[in-house]
Structure 1
Amino acid sequence: MLKCSALIMSACLLSACTSAVGQQTTAANGEPVAGGTVRIGTTSDLTPALVFSGTKASEQTLTGLVYDTLVSYPADSLDPQPRLAENWEVSPDGLTLTLELRKNVTFHDGRPFTSKDVEFSLQTYSDPAYAGQLARVAQLITKYDTSDPHRIVLELEDRANNIFDLFSIVPIIDKNSFDQWVNGEEYIGTGAFEFVVWYPGSRIEFEANKEYWDGAPAVNGAELLVIPDQQTQFSQLRSGQLDLLADALPRDIKAVEDSPTFNVVTTQGTGSMVYAGANVTAPGLEDPRVRQAISLAVDRDRIVKEVYQDRARATSLPWPEYSPAYEPSADAPQRDVALAKKLIDQVGSIPTITISYGSNSLEHQDIAQIISANLAELGIETKLEPVEYTTMISQLRNGSFPGLWVLGHGFAQYNPATLVTSAFPFNSIKNSSNFSHDAYAADVQRSWRTTDPNSTSALDAYKDLNKHLLEQSFVIELASPDSEFITSGNLHGIGWSKRGELDLSDVYFTQ
């Protein structure tokens, strides 16, 4: 009797599971419906002080939903497209920019958008206190003419070939509520979704902006749910408790890529990279030969295969293949343990090296373990140190890592000068590795001031930058993962910015 009951129960469970899958498949292929709330899972909570930096999915989701930028870039180019700026003119010397602003745009509280808001946003972003990684670019603006509410004229102290990168990244914020911004209490923009409330450690709620200048979203709203454990996130997606994973594991993506009940979305053009940084002032890492040896010893092919399930490309330089700075002959990482040992022998005894990684990232944990095993082959002892993500970003900004660290970086998808003038790991003035090098700084300036980022002189500057990056190895590139996320099969129309922010303005559900 017990055996019979067990068989009946098993059959019922199988039937229920099959029925649920069938319902999900039907919904994925169903008719569009209005309404619904997009539930997004992320591992890290919002950090108000880092909203401008966009270092985590939580900050990027907030800016992508709530705010607009002056221009946007298509996924496949750096040809700026109108957003809040409808058209623009650049003077022949590149020092004056006139932007014509869109009329009849309002903030979520009903206040009209004007040129004064552009001035406030760019000036605020330029303040290093707010962690905007392109602050150095914004600081080039020396004068703002806002006499016309629908036009702004900017004057620069010097030419910069990435000024439109800045315009595509800086969110246009509301000056009247900025005191609440810094406390995480209020975020008022002109975007497709309005901020409702943030419950720290739990979730952020958004509702659709029915008065959005580019058309009201079809869904009612969105929720960003903080779920620190990536395995739990995936389970909740599969059970229907989530609609989208902002930071899914490659193995989970691989598990559902052929399933009709889920969508795997590739965010082309967003240039994701994973790297090992080196604090060049930390004991054992001062000598570039040690850093070169680490780069030679790291088994990138193993990282690509085991950690990223072959959904990545091994790299030794930070550029995506479509970047003008990409050099196929230079970006050809080869593991050479014998040469790495020779370099270590030249230096002598190496103290124990700490390898830090985000405590909520299984990917980075696995990479840190592989690097540790690789360095053991060189006779270098390591200490693995999991660190809470917000603390890691603080260490990244302040250059206070005790040794090596594993993280991801962006900005290589923009004009090459943006990475080396702006990104925390690479900034030639102040970077996370405490690396200072006159020739590197000079070549950064060459890459930045050249009017045409695709010119011969610019390409020559990029080659010199690549030599510095390989010889100094203060940033050790590891892999370029495929930029992907998972959604439920009945969620459609997702877009993204060049930066990787979610664009839900055109999403809809089917049933």
Structure 2
Amino acid sequence: MNEKNYWQRIRKQQLSRRRLLRAGGRAGLGAAGLALVGCGGDDEQQAVAQQRQQQQHQQAMAQQQDQHQQDQPQAQQQQQDQPQQQQQQEQQQTAAAAPADDARRGGVLRIGSDIGLSTYRAPYLSSSAHIPLYIPFWDTLTKYSPDGLDPQPHLAESWELNDDQTMLQIKLRPGLEFHNGKPLNATEVKRSLEAMDDEGVANNQVKGIMTKYVSAVDVIDDVTLQLHLAWGGTLVYDVLNYAQIHDVDDIPNLDGYSSLNGSGPFKFDPSSYQVDQYAAGERFENFYDPALLDGIEQYQFPDATAMSLALGAGEIDLTNRLPKPDYERFNSDPDFTVVVAPPTLAIWVLGMVIPNENGGHPAFADPKVRQALYRCIDRERVANETFEGLALPKNILWPPFSPGYDEARDRDYFNPEEAARLLEEAGYGPGELTIELGHGGGEANEIAQVIQAGAAEAGINLNIQLYEPAVARDRFLNAKHESYLSSYAFFALHPQTLPVMNFQMRIPNSCAFGPDYYQALIDSFGTAESDAQRNELLEEFNTLLDNEPWIAPIVTRSDIWAWSSKFTGIEFDVLSIPSMQRIHQV
């Protein structure tokens, strides 16, 4: 990997100790989502210890993403869900929160966003752009850790799978409340989970896995639920990670936000709400882990550039959409902390659409043509030129901690000569293919030009076509493209989840790939009765992705978070979702 790359520089320790300490680890977030804990006080030894811990995390995370590392173990995540371990985790969280005394309480964090609460379709997340908007107000039963797919306690205190992994028993923390004081008990959690299948809820991706994985929810007592699993195993934690717990009776009020009876660390102030402009919340004192901040404010802007200007002018304190051209300016300014979010939230992919009644291209009916285009993508060049080293090349879909990760497959596939050979074997003569974009140019156009150059070396005349976003979305959802560039989320979840929920993997999908044997493989995931069977199916899935690719991963998406250095304590999980509870003023 080119050492100009952000992640490679971290691994080689080319970021100075002074910058790391001053920024509180601003450049140190790798795949495992380093928690940024500020130095805060006057204790120099504590600051040095924190800095040393950050560097150790940084090195470990960057090594995890290094495609050439020799000692990467096969990532077979096995969650056995020991209640004792969960109690230990909670004790560790409590110990970590111990310094949260009155001296660190106070302050209001002003959050900038280029998307408003009015676009959030309760009750479940459908876009990563909503992350800064919903995490203050709603919480989930569990969240994944900073290191991998092991669930951590949130509203749930403990949980346990039965022996054949077909039933999950969940214990809630005692005494939970919604923001208006209504008991947040097992009955309300059941209602919230089941509301995902209501007709009025958009058919988003999280809804897809809830209705597939969970066949029934039983209430045992006020703090105990049983989830009956249609698909056995640990896949259900993918649902729990994203399913915000709502007061179902209050969901209709979210149309105009006349009220928001949430479950998270901040209580929404309906009197503050201005549609697509402003919203505010104050600390919810009865939360199981009360926030340190007094409150949060959310300001909406027309685009990322406007947010960047507002951040620089001191009008907001945080944004998760810092434009790439502004990275160096803010990163070199000690008044700001800048972090490239863990490269696990989303990736850029090339979709190759099988001929169908709506569109596609006849050449893509032959898997060898799709394999050839896969080998026309210079991922290193895209990462280091288009994204200026702030992205990681993605040779395969899965990150190293995924149960589906295979180190032998994680290699550089860019090889125009091999692509030309595959095209010759497929009988592909002189012709044209079109790659379609719905992002109005920008990064997508630059990526397309790199692919265009690689394709030309292999003998493919690749055209680039721009569409208005609304038109592109229709073409995407209905498999009208010949090929396309898109952002691809949820790839860091369990591999079995993608063909259930992701628009580019499930049947029907945006690439019109849906042979009977693919559907049979998906169905087999649900009937597997042991980890050994599941692992065999994952190997079969990887082989299918190798031999008949319809999606070609390119690079991680470089989401840049930036905030005023007056604040610290932002902690990310492995999927790039931050926690609000430990944020505080320095």
Which TM-score band (shorter chain)?
A: 0.7 to 0.9
Hey, what's the Cα distance between the residues in 1 that align with 2:510 and 2:269? 35
Q: State the match for 2:168 in structure 1.
A: 97
1:211 corresponds to which of 279, 282, 286: 286
Contact conserved, 1:219 with 1:508, CA < 8 A, in 2? no
Whether the 8 Å CA contact 1:279–1:399 is kept in 2: the answer is: no
1:376/1:227 CA distance change after superposition, 3 Å: farther
1:11-160 equivalences under 5 Å are 34-46=105-117, 47-49=119-121, 52-57=124-129, 59-126=130-197, 129-139=201-211, 140-146=213-219, 148-160=221-233
Structure 1's 393 and 263: CA in aligned 2 closer, same or farther, altered over 3 A? farther
Partners of 1:358 and 1:187 lie apart in 2 by 33
Distance 1:393 1:150 in 2: 42
Distance 1:457 1:93, change over 3 A: closer
Q: Secondary structure at the match of 2:539?
A: helix
Which runs of structure 2 are paired with 1:8-407 in the superposition (5 Å)?
34-46=105-117, 47-49=119-121, 52-57=124-129, 59-126=130-197, 129-139=201-211, 140-146=213-219, 148-181=221-254, 186-196=259-269, 199-228=274-303, 230-268=304-342, 270-280=344-354, 281=356, 282-284=359-361, 285-344=364-423, 346-348=427-429, 350-351=431-432, 353-359=434-440, 362-375=442-455, 378-388=459-469, 398-407=477-486
Q: Whole-Å Cα distance in 2 between the matches of residues 371 and 355 of structure 1?
A: 12
Q: Structure 1 residues 221 and 40, CA, compared in 2 at 3 Å: closer, same or farther?
A: closer
Q: 1:320: how far off?
A: 0.9
Q: Once the 2 structures are TM-superposed, how far is the Cα of residue 191 of structure 1 from its aligned partner? A: 0.2
Q: What are the superposed Cα offsets for residues 397-449 of structure 1, whole Å, 9 maximum, x if unpaired?
A: x344533332322323222222332222222x332322102333333444555
User: Structure 1 length normalisation: TM-score?
Assistant: 0.82
More moved, 182-191 vs 319-328: 182-191
1:443 corresponding residue in structure 2: 521
TM-fit CA distance, 1:67? 0.8
Cα drift, residue 147 of structure 1: 5.3
Say if 1:272 and 1:409, in contact at 8 Å, map to a contact too.
yes
Q: CA deviation at 1:489?
A: 1.5
SS of corresponding position for 1:477: strand
- Report the equivalent of 2:512: 434
Alignment TM-score, normalising by the size of structure 2: 0.73
The answer (yes or no) to whether the contact 2:291–2:580 under 8 Å persists in 1 is: no
SS at match of 1:253: helix
**Alignment gaps of 5+ in structure 1:** 1-23
Q: In 2, distance between residues paired with 1:344 and 1:456?
A: 37
Residue aligning to 1:491: 567
Specify the alignment match of 2:19 in structure 1. Answer: none
Instruction: Tell me the equivalent position of 1:8.
Output: none
Q: CA deviation at 1:492?
A: 0.7
Deviation, structure 1 residue 342: 4.6
Tell me by how many angstroms 1:241 deviates: 2.5
1:204-229 deviations in Å (ceiling 9; x for gaps): 4333323323214323213142331x
Aligned to 1:358, the other structure's residue is in SS state coil
Cα distance in 1 between the residues matched to 2:320 and 2:471: 21
AA matched with 1:226? F
Change (3 A) 1:127 1:468: farther
In the alignment, the residues of structure 2 paired with residue 216 and residue 167 of structure 1 have an alpha-carbon distance, to the nearest angstrom, of 22
State the 1:477 CA deviation. 0.2
* One-letter amino acid matched to 2:503: F
**Deviation at residue 98 of structure 1 after TM alignment:** 2.0
Contact 2:343–2:556 (8 Å) recurs in 1: no
Distance in 2 (alpha carbons) for counterparts of 1:362 and 1:194: 38
- SS of 1:130's equivalent in the other structure is coil
Alpha-carbon distance in 2 for matches of 1:372, 1:44: 32
Deviation at 1:114, TM superposition (A): 1.7
Go from structure 1 to structure 2 and tell me whether the alpha carbon gap of 1:145 and 1:171 turns closer, same or farther (over 3 Å shift).
Answer: same
Distance 1:371 1:51 in 2: 38
In 1, the alpha carbon distance for the partners of 2:218 and 2:352 equals 43
Q: CA deviation at 1:44?
A: 3.7
Aligned with 2:450: secondary structure?
helix
Q: Could you give the per-residue CA deviations for residues 222-242 of structure 1, whole angstroms, max 9, x where no partner exists?
A: 3142331x3333333223223
What is the alpha-carbon distance in structure 2 between the residues aligned to residue 478 and residue 456 of structure 1? 30
Change (3 A) 1:104 1:227: same
Matched residues in 2 for 1:338 and 1:330: separation? 19
CA–CA separation in structure 1 for the residues paired with 2:393 and 2:419 = 18
In structure 2, distance between residues paired with 1:393 and 1:185: 31
Q: Does the 8 Å contact 2:348/2:485 carry over to 1?
A: yes
The answer to whether 1:417 aligns with 2:496 is: yes
Tell me by how many angstroms 1:38 deviates. 2.1
RMSD between aligned alpha carbons?
3.2
Query: How many Å apart are 1:172 and its aligned residue?
Result: 0.5
Aligned partners of 1:411 and 1:86: how far apart in 2? 25
| Partner residue, 1:6 | none
How far is 1:186 from its partner? 4.4
Secondary structure of the corresponding residue to residue 409 of structure 2: coil
Opposite residue 508 of structure 2, the aligned amino acid is: K
CA distance in 2, matches of 1:50, 1:333: 41
| Alpha-carbon displacement from aligned partner over 1:372-413 (angstroms, at most 9, x marks no partner) | 44445544242332543x7766665x3445333323223232
CA 1:116–1:461 in structure 2 vs 1: closer, same or farther (change >3 Å)? same
